[in-house]
Amino acid sequence: MSISDWFKARESRRYTALDGDALARAEVPDGVWTKCSACKKIVYDGQLVENVRVCPHCGHHFAMCAAERVDLLADPGTFAEFDSRVSSADPLGFTGAKPYVESLDAAREQCAMPEAVVCGRAEIASHPVVLGVMDFRFIGASMGSAVGEKITRAFETAIAERRAVVLVTSSGGARMQEGMLSLMQMAKTAAAARRLAEERLPYVSVLANPTMGGVTASFAVLADVIFAEPGALVGFAGPRVIEQTIKQHLPKGFQSAEYLLDHGMVDDVVPRGQLTARVGLVLDYLAGGERR
C-alpha cells in the first residue's frame, strides 16, 4: 500500500458518508426531533408544532391528533365537547389478532380518549358550529357503532341548535370488529347529513390523510364544501386491492387529494396553515346570518 492509499483508507475509516438510503434508515431518538417520512430530513419537534405539523422543508403534512385539530380550527376557548362518554362495547365478542376489548383498552390508554372521534360545540371565525374530529391513532379511526353514533348526534345537535357542521375525517373505514353493526353506520350518518342539508345548514368536511372505506363512502363526501389536505390519500378500497382486482396499474398519484381535485371529487386542496381561514370563509358565505 502506498502512503497516499494508506491515508485514503484511514480517512474512509474516520468518516462515513451516508447516502440517502442510509440516512433514511438512521435512528432518530424520539421526543426532540422527528424525521420527515417524505424528504427524510430531520425536523426539530418545537418547529413542527409551531408549523402546525407541516414539514418546513418539503411541506409534508404529518398526522395530527384530535386535540391539535381542535386547537387549530376552533376559536380559542370556544370548544366544549359533548357525548364524551359514548364509546364502543364489544357486541359480537370479537377476537381477531387479539380480543376487540383489548384493542379498545389499548387505544383508550394510548390516545387518552374513549373513542376515535371527538365532537363538541365550538365557534369558527365566530360562527357557531358543531366540530367533529377523528383521530387515526385510535384503531385507525375506524367507524364502529360509537363513532357512527357520535357523528350522527353531531348532525342532530347542529340541527337542534341551528349550527353549521365541520368534520375533519381520517379513517381506515369500517371497524371490522363490529361487523354488520359497523357497516350500518354508513347509512345512519349519511341519513343524518341529509337531514342537516334539508334544514339548509352548512356542512364542511376536511379530508385528512388517510380517509378510506366506509367513511369516504358515507358522511365524509356528503358535505356542501369538501376540502382535502395536501397529499391525503382518499378513496374507498386501497390502491393495492384495486390493482389486484382489476389487474391493471393505476395512474400516478391515484387517490391523492390532488388527483381527486383534478377529477372533481373535492372542492379544493388546502394547506393546513390556511385551513382555519378557508373554513371560516366558507362559513361566512354559507352561514352569514348566524354569526355571533
Q: Does 42 bind Zn ion (CB under 5 A)?
A: no
Q: Is 287 in the site for Zn ion (CB under 5 A)?
A: no
Closest by CA to 255, choosing from 230, 240, 235, is: 235
Question: Rounded CA gap, 13 and 25, in Å?
Answer: 20
- Nearest approach in angstroms of CB 237 to Zn ion is 28
Distance (Å, whole) CA 125 – CA 97:
45
Question: For residues 151 and 210, what is the distance between their CA atoms, to the nearest angstrom?
Answer: 18
Shortest gap between Cβ of 56 and Zn ion (angstroms)?
A: 8
- Is residue 224 within 8 A of residue 287, CB to CB? The reply is no
Q: Is 125 in the site for Zn ion (CB under 5 A)?
A: no
The residue from 55, 107, 217, 282 that contacts Zn ion (CB under 5 A) is 55
Please say which residue, 59 or 179, places its beta carbon nearer to Zn ion.
Answer: 59
Q: Return the residue of 26, 28, 58, 106 that touches Zn ion, per CB under 5 A.
A: 58
Least Å distance, CB 209 to Zn ion, is 14
* Residue 217 CA to its chain's centroid (Å): 15
> Which residue's CB is nearer to Zn ion, number 18 or number 58?
58
| Piece of 58-66, 101-109, 174-182, 207-215 that binds Zn ion (CB under 5 A) | 58-66
Least gap, CB of 37 to Zn ion (angstroms):
8
Under rule CB under 5 A, how many of the chain's residues touch Zn ion?
7
Q: Measure the CA–CA gap between 87 and 85, rounded to whole angstroms.
A: 6
Distance CA 15, CA 248 (A): 46
Nine-digit cell at 112? 387518552
Minimum CB distance to Zn ion, residue 42 (Å): 10
Cβ contact 82:120 at 8 Å: yes
User: Quick check: 36 binds Zn ion (CB under 5 A)?
Assistant: yes
Nearer to Zn ion, 62 or 227 (CB): 62
Amino acid at 134: M
Nearest to 224 by CA among 167, 272, 175, 273: 167
60 forms part of the interface with Zn ion (CB under 5 A): yes
39 binds Zn ion (CB under 5 A): yes
C-alpha separations of 186 from 83, 216, 220 in Å: 19, 9, 10
- Taking CB under 5 A as the rule, does residue 54 contact Zn ion? no
Sequence-separated (6 or more) residues with CB below 8 Å from residue 106: none
Minimum gap (Å) between residue 136 Cβ and Zn ion: 19
Q: Which helix (H) or strand (E) holds 103?
A: helix 100-111
Q: Which of 57, 162, 194, 291 binds Zn ion (CB under 5 A)?
A: 57
Could you tell me the smallest distance in angstroms from the CB atom of residue 43 to Zn ion?
7
Compute CA 88 distance to the chain's CA centroid, rounded to the nearest angstrom.
Answer: 20
- Residue 58 or residue 187: which is nearer to Zn ion going by CB? 58
Interface segment toward Zn ion; rule CB under 5 A; list 49-57, 80-88, 114-122, 194-202 = 49-57
Question: Where do contacts with Zn ion occur on this chain (CB under 5 A)?
Answer: 36, 38-39, 55, 57-58, 60
